[in-house]
Amino acid sequence: MTEAPAQGWSTWRTIVAFGFVSLLADMVYEGMRSISGPFLGTLGASALVVGIVTGAGEAMALLLRLGTGPWADRSGRHWRLTVVGYALTAVCVPLLAIAPALGTAGVAVAAALILCERAGKAIRSPSKSALLARVASSGNMGKAFGVHKALDQVGAFAGPLVVAGVAAATGVLWPGFAVLAIPGALSLLVLAQLARRVPTLTVSEEPPVDAAENSHRSGLAGALGIDLPPRFHLFACASALATAGLMTFGVISYRFVEEGLVPLAAAPLVYALAMLTAAVAALGTGFLFDRWGARVLYVVPLLVAVVPALAFADRLALVLGGVALWGVATGVLDSTVKAQVAAVVPSHRRATGYGVFAAVQGIGALAGGVVAGALVTRHLDALVVIVAGAQVVAMVLFARSRLSGLST
């Protein structure tokens, strides 16, 4: 059983504060991501350069967690890594505003800033999730991650709207980055308040491990979480298959725009629908997780199995229904599953667990994107069958993970 903060803010005030930090930071980096491609293009970058920079950034944000998670657990510096990661986002994104003034060097500087921001995401995410799990009591884990994700999604929705509004008012893209300095600075101020009001977050939850154990964990096996419970690895593989089946919104939006079902300018509104359903799903399944446990996650493969048939249909109503279900599944896979990770991984290894889990999900997302991109245009029936088959396997792995926990 984890303990609530000993002094200062209450447990739920602390959880909501963490949520507001994520809301503000999401405004910054989701605002940036919504126009990063066109912005690089205005600086003279080719489509290939844009693809390399944005793809490498997303890969860094996931795969670097294999290192930052174990690093946090070995050092006990979860709080410091969280602050450093958020600071990189708060600083790097507004600095993109200076890139147009740098001439031919603008592309290189912008690319470096985008990659540094994504590295900040990798640095903070395992530590932040471990801290959030530390704050929440065992009976509130699902609600804690659900509330946090819902607030996070508000930022993901608001940031692109702010940037779009600034771009519409000024006629250029770079002032939008400068405006994002405001939520970036506010996110760091809220973090500073957390450090002052909840001092228990700034100390290690567990005593330092002995030298032999620390040495064992510092190698590749420790970074890959080989020593974590088998049920964790089953659960991670199941979640990766579910993530692969969801594909990316980029593939879905490409399809409905190419088919003429949704105008290009309206694609962000469809994405907003997905973010709304993700927020609602995170809250709902978070509360249900605290009552029913991991059984609530059985719904994820069922949802994912029907998404391709709806999202790639030739009728707008079916497409919107598929996007809404995509948002629901995405919301659960980025919130409630983290509560289950906290439940199956020892508290002093949670940052490692979150790092490994994110990397496995990233591999699943990459595989799903490749398969969907190859099949969605001419072999849609095959894609639907493959996704459904993967979800059957995911359901079996979910069940084995849960049952192995009941038997221990």
* 318's tokens: 């079916």
- Token readout for 67 is 């290192």
Q: Which amino acid is at 270?
A: V
Q: Please indicate, yes or no, whether residues 286 and 255 belong to a single structural domain of this protein.
A: yes
Rounded to the nearest 10 degrees, the angle between the axes of helix 267-292 and helix 249-258 is: 140
Stretch among 119-123, 174-178, 317-321, 357-361 having the lowest mean pLDDT: 357-361
Same domain, 19 and 89: yes
DSSP label at residue 346: -
Domain finish residue from 149, 170, 205: 205
Does residue 186 sit within a domain? yes
Q: Are residues 382 and 341 in the same domain?
A: yes
Residue 164 and residue 155: Cα distance in Å, rounded?
Answer: 14
Amino acid letter, 177: F
Q: What is the pLDDT of residue 235?
A: 92
User: Where residue 125 sits, what CATH number does that domain have?
Assistant: 1.20.1250.20
Specify if 4 maps to a domain.
no
The total of other beta-carbon atoms located within 10 Å of residue 353's CB is 29
Confidence (pLDDT) at 56: 76
CA dihedral 37, 38, 40, 44 (to 10 degrees): 130
> Is 375 inside any structural domain?
yes
pLDDT in tens, 222-237: 667 788 888 999 999 9
The DSSP 8-state label assigned to residue 99 in this structure reads: G
pLDDT of residue 162: 87
- Read off the pLDDT of each residue in 204-215 and give the average, rounded to a whole number: 49
Residues 115 and 257 both lie in one domain:
no
Q: 30, 184 in Cβ contact below 8 A?
A: no
Counting residues of the chain whose pLDDT is more than 90, the rounded percentage is 30
Please state, in angstroms and rounded to a whole number, the distance separating the CA atoms of residues 325 and 304.
8
- Both 244 and 109 in one domain: the answer is no
188 and 329 housed in the same domain: no
Q: Are residues 149 and 25 in the same domain?
A: yes
Pull the structure tokens for residue 355.
């790092």
| Domain region containing 59 | 11-205
In a domain, 3, yes or no: no
Does the pLDDT at position 321 exceed 80? Answer: yes
Structure tokens at 283: 């809250």
Q: Which two tokens stand for residue 270?
A: 């469809």
Residue 332 has pLDDT above 80, yes or no: yes
Domain total in the chain: 2
Q: How far is CA 382 from the centre of its chain?
A: 29
Does residue 217 lie in a domain region? no
The reply to whether 150 and 236 lie within a common domain is: no
Cβ–Cβ < 8 Å for 145, 249 = no
The answer for residues whose C-beta is within 8 angstroms of residue 78's C-beta and 6 or more apart is 72, 127, 128, 130, 131, 201, 204, 205, 351
Q: What is the pLDDT of residues 52-84, one digit of tens each?
A: 787 677 778 888 888 898 888 888 888 999 999
For residue 342 the two structure tokens come to: 């906290």
pLDDT digits (tens, 9 = 90+) for 273-299: 888 888 888 888 888 888 888 888 888
Where is average pLDDT lowest: 97-106, 193-202, 376-385?
Answer: 193-202
For residues 49 and 179, the answer to whether their CB atoms sit within 8 Å is no
What is the Cα–Cα distance from 92 to 111, expressed in whole angstroms?
A: 11
> Is the model's pLDDT at 361 over the cut of 50?
yes
**pLDDT (0 to 100) of residue 204:** 58
Amino acid 47: pLDDT: 67
Residue 51: the pLDDT is 66
Asked whether residue 1 is domain-assigned, the answer is no
Give 121's pLDDT tier (boundaries 50, 70, 90).
very high
Which segment of 244-258, 332-346, 353-367 scores lowest on mean pLDDT?
244-258
Are 132 and 239 found together in one domain? Answer: no
167-202 pLDDT, tens digit each: 888 888 899 899 999 999 999 999 999 888 887 776
